[in-house]
Structure 1
Amino acid sequence: MPRYLTLVHIDEQNLPAEAPDPGFDQRMGELFEEITRAGVMQETAGLAPTAEGTRLTWSGGKVGYTDGPFTESKEVVGGYSITRCADKAEALEWAKRFLEVHPASWQVSVEVREIAEG
């Protein structure tokens, strides 16, 4: 079965001011429990803010280093998951369910890409 990388995109400059509703953690926990029981979830994590990161670039035969935050980036990767799904349709369904757990007032997007193996 193919593996898929789901990148969770957020706008670090406009994070929600309000905390999620009281049931958010429970809904997310239930979804993660379900996806793990189904044998789909391989790995997942949130990422530290870009202020704690460093970007390396290759240009003109030299490596350049830029410390965060990366204010020129509107959207950044705030988390990821690796899933093993029967097909892309299944990977998209899990990603859709992940988004639906979030409060309606939040802006979150995900990008689902198959991992090229072998």
Structure 2
Amino acid sequence: MRFMIMVKATADSEAGKMPEEELIASMATYHEELQKAGVLLDASGLQPSSKGWRVRYSGGKRSVIDGPFAETKELVAGYTVIQVRSREEAMEWARRFPAPFGEQADGEIEVRQMYDLDDFEPSQAMDRFRNIEGANH
């Protein structure tokens, strides 16, 4: 079972404020523990939405909308992807996640289980996904 731990953005993360060394050390320790346990798949911080864009789909057309995006509480500042045996194990790892902006700062993470290819009904289209290198097998 794969889970994504998403760090919700704040005004500081959207302003591009870099974390303090103490927080970087806490995050490094946590991710080293994930790696030693063999459950870490990927992790990264995301640059502010001002450096990104969205593609909106409407009426069969696509339009590109440049950042920044106003609703900070709806943005993701970083993520960690883990693969564990159960929801309970994922929850235990999430409880240990360092406070994302420092122990005294407000912050929030969201954890969501990711779909695996086996969660979908068999079909020709799903067989094509299974043959894509890097797709979740």
Q: Residues 102, 57 of structure 1: CA spacing in aligned structure 2 closer, same or farther, 3 A cutoff?
A: closer
Q: Quick check: 1:40–1:83 contact (8 Å CA) kept in 2?
A: yes
* Unmatched tracts of structure 2, length 5 or more: 118-137
Q: How does 1:3-22 map to 2 (within 5 A)?
A: 3-11=2-10, 13-15=11-13, 20=20
* Unmatched tracts of structure 1, length 5 or more: none
Output the amino acid matched with 2:28: G
- Taking structure 1 as the reference length, the TM-score comes to 0.82
Output the amino acid matched with 1:74: T
Q: Quick check: 2:100–2:108 contact (8 Å CA) kept in 1?
A: no
Displacement after TM superposition at 1:100 (Å): 4.2
Larger radius of gyration: 2
Displacement after TM superposition at 1:101 (Å): 6.9
Structure 1, residues 7-65: CA drift from partner, whole Å, max 9, x if none? 11122x25598x64x53332222211111000010100011110000111111221111
Structure 1, residues 72-97: CA drift from partner, whole Å, max 9, x if none? x1321001111011111111221221
Which residue pairs with 2:41 in the alignment? 42
Larger relative contact order, structure 1 or 2 (CA cutoff 8 Å, min sep 6): 1
| Paired residue total | 114
Question: Does the residue aligned with 1:70 lie in a helix, a strand or coil?
Answer: coil
Root mean square deviation, CA, Å: 2.3
Percent of residue pairs identical: 30
